[in-house]
């Protein structure tokens, strides 16, 4: 802007700040929705509202998976080193290395109004297909927790509809052990703002572990 107007950058900054009373904000990130997706989302949200006129939101088990990097990534903006001008290009200046594929781990978890499920860590190099999701997540971890936590009371399982979550064999497991789950006809796709795991829990966990190193051992 300063270049286009032929004035000093500091002058532009002063005008923006003092005269126009404007501040610079980073662009917010959001889920892209096409017009078709918006219409579908609206339709399913209306169905959800009708559904919860007879069911309780507090009975929902909100679930999700997330990949966490378990080695800290360098932040070139905030991580600095104090050196003299003569040493600025010397071997004393440390290097921040970026790995092409930083070490990471996938975590599955769920929460309800009255508790939280166990954390499920998926082994490295294990792809979450239908068999893995059914055995490790649903049967080995979620089902025992549901039996203990709800003690025969009502509950509603929410999950996204990744391929492993919506296969025929997974649907059979859900029908048998988690009846009343929110199916594809109710849960809108591309809706992280509807799931507290997405819009709250994972963000909090990410802020807590930022810049920390972890030893992931099983």
For 31-63, b/e burial (b = at least 16 CB within 10 A) is: eeeeeeeeeebeebeeebeebeeeeeeebbbbb
The whole-number pLDDT of residue 135 equals 96
Which of 64-68, 80-84, 135-139 tops mean pLDDT? 135-139
| 1 vs 110, residue with greater confidence | 110
Helices (H) and strands (E) in the chain, counts: 9, 5
Whole-prediction pTM: 0.76
pLDDT band at 218 (very low <50, low <70, confident <90, very high): very low
The Cα diameter of the chain in Å comes to 73
pLDDT over 70 for what percent of the chain? 88
Is the pLDDT at 211 greater than 60, yes or no?
Answer: no
Strand partners, 151: none
Minimum mean pLDDT among 39-53, 66-80, 128-142: which range? Answer: 66-80
The whole-number pLDDT of residue 153 equals 93
Is the pLDDT at 212 greater than 70, yes or no?
Answer: no
Q: Are 186 and 47 in contact (CB under 8 A)?
A: yes
Minimum mean pLDDT among 93-102, 122-131, 176-185: which range? Answer: 93-102
What is the rounded average pLDDT of the residues 113-137? 92
pLDDT band at 100 (very low <50, low <70, confident <90, very high): low
The whole-number pLDDT of residue 11 equals 94
How would you class 182 by CB atoms within 10 Å of its CB: exposed for 0-12, middle for 13-18, buried for 19 or more? buried
The whole-number pLDDT of residue 26 equals 84
């Amino acid at each position: 802007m300063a270049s286009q107007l032929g004035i000093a950058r500091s002058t532009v900054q002063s005008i923006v700040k003092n005269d126009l009373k404007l501040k610079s904000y980073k662009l917010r990130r959001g889920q892209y929705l096409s017009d078709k997706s918006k219409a579908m989302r609206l339709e399913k949200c209306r169905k959800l509202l009708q559904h919860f006129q007879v069911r309780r939101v507090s009975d929902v088990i909100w679930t999700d998976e997330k990949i966490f990097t378990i080695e800290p990534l360098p932040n070139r903006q905030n991580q600095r080193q104090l050196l003299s001008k003569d040493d600025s290009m010397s071997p004393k200046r440390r290097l921040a290395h970026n790995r092409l594929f930083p070490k990471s781990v996938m975590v599955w978890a769920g929460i309800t109004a009255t508790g939280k499920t166990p954390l499920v860590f998926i082994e490295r190099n294990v792809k979450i297909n239908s068999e893995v999701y059914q055995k490790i997540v649903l049967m080995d971890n979620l089902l025992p927790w549901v039996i203990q936590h709800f003690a025969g009371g009502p509950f509603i399982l929410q999950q996204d509809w990744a391929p492993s979550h919506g296969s025929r064999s997974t649907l059979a497991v859900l029908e048998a052990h988690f009846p009343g789950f929110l199916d594809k006809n109710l849960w809108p796709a591309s809706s992280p703002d509807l799931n507290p795991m997405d819009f709250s829990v994972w963000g909090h966990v990410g802020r807590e572990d930022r810049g920390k190193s972890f030893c992931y051992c099983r």
